[in-house]
Amino acid sequence: MEKRRFAREAISEWMRHGGPDSDIVISSRVRLARNLSGHPFPMLATNHQAREVMEKLTGAVRAGKLDEIGKFDIFVLDDLTELEKQVLVEKHLISPALANESRCGALILDRTESVSIMVNEEDHLRIQCLYPGFQVKEAWTKASRIDDKFEEAVDYAFDETRGYLTSCPTNVGTGIRASVMMHLPALVITQQINRIIPAVTQVGLVVRGIYGEGSEALGNLFQVSNQITLGQSEEEILDHLHNVARQMIEHEKAARRRLLAESRLRIQDRVCRSYGILCHAAVIDSKEAAQRLSDVRLGIDLGLIPDVPPAVMNELLVKTQPAFLQQTFNETMTPEQRDVRRAEMIREHFRKFRYGGA
């Protein structure tokens, strides 16, 4: 079977370009939750009602409402294979809830994969915009434009007092969830992270580790997002997130400088060992792979590992997830077989840089 566009590459087109502060901020995301008035929320919708909502929203896109924004493809979830759905989840383009539990769910995805719009997830409409690096406000501007385009075609459930009405009371008001994904290896190595996380949560933000197969934070990646959606304007919410994230970036930068100044040899040894292991290991589990990839990424950002592009970490983190491995090697695998294939995939990937390939 011909692979769909989104299944061919592990890394989305938008991710290939760096952004501001992209040595620390991997990506910025804004998600808006919206519902149509006069239609029950997806949880209580009949199949017929859910289909109506899907047809209204995808119909607006087919009628060209998003033509100014970009080139969009529409995928009806029921038409996708289980493997394709899992690949979309591993690429963070849809939620596990849309993949596994939605009725008449659909994905409206732009060709660069920087805009993914979910239909009939927990809310009728979830508009998500992703930008490389530290660009939350840019992501909001784009999401808001898309929001306006949909609103030309459909009536939203909006209340003057409560704002945009959402299925869950934690999203009501602005319906906005803005987040910044950061790579903070120096704060973890120096253990300052244990001081910083509680401080960040104290000012109303949520910090979350990123997961792989297991239950531990992987690769020193942390997602910081707003908790409150009601009673503050989008601008206030974004300013607050922006300012706190900015401080975290500065702390990470200072920690990196200190590591280089005070323990350069130790840090060089650490990142280069990890590089060596990734280039030669025959078996590697997802946890070790993530940690080594984080080391290599730090080494690249500190100038200790030349000639390897920084995007290698994200790309391999996605490529070595179960569904992606399965579709690459075209076979179902036990976890043990996966560890072998993962090592193989990583070795092949690094060979390109070491022998001056692509």
Partner 1 sequence: MLCQDCGKRPATLHFTKIVNGEKSEFHFCEACARERGELIPGTANGFSIHSLLSGLLDFDPPGGGAGHVSHPLRCESCGLTYSQFSKVGRFGCSDCYRYFSGKLDGLLKRVHGNTVHVGKVPQRAGRMIRSRREIDRLKRELQERIAREDFESAARIRDRIRELERRLAEG
The CA radius of gyration of the chain, in Å to the nearest whole number, is 21
In whole angstroms, how close is the CB of 56 to partner 1 at the nearest point? 15
207 lies in the binding site for partner 1 (CB under 8 A): yes
**Binding partner 1 by CB under 8 A: which of 170, 273, 309, 332?**
170
> Out of 28, 58, 167, 286, which residue is the one contacting partner 1 (CB under 8 A)?
167
Residue 92 binds partner 1 (CB under 8 A):
yes
**Which position among 19, 70, 209, 310 is part of the footprint of partner 1 (CB under 8 A)?**
209
- 83 binding partner 1? (CB under 8 A): no
CB distance 318 to 285 below 8 Å: no
**Nearest-angstrom CA–CA distance, 247 and 245:** 5
**Closest by Cα among 84, 26, 52, 30 to 221:** 26
Helix-helix angle 322-329:335-354, to 10 degrees: 70
Q: Segment 104-163, which members bind partner 1 (CB under 8 A)? A: 122, 144, 147-148, 151-152, 155-163
**Helix segments in the chain, DSSP class H:** 5-8, 47-62, 82-90, 96-101, 136-153, 185-189, 193-202, 234-280, 286-301, 312-319, 322-329, 335-354
Site for partner 1 in 221-260 (CB under 8 A): 223, 225, 227-234, 237
The whole-angstrom distance between residue 244's C-alpha and the CA centroid of its chain comes to: 19
Residues in binding contact with partner 1, number by CB under 8 A: 72
Closest CA to 244 of 180, 183, 191: 180
- Which one among 15, 89, 302, 346 touches partner 1, defined by CB under 8 A? 89
**What 3-state class would DSSP assign to 119?**
strand
Pick from 64, 198, 356, 357: which binds partner 1 (CB under 8 A)?
A: 198
Shortest Cβ distance from residue 227 to partner 1 (Å)? 6
Tell me if 177 contacts partner 1 by CB under 8 A: yes
Contacts of 37 (CB under 8 A, 6+ apart): 155, 156, 157, 158
Which CB sits closer to partner 1, 73 or 159? 159
Whole-number minimum distance, CB 44 to partner 1, in Å? 4
Residues 1-60 binding partner 1 (CB under 8 A) are 35, 37, 39-41, 43-44
Among the residue ranges 76-84, 210-218, 274-282, 327-335, the one whose residues contact partner 1 (CB under 8 A): 210-218
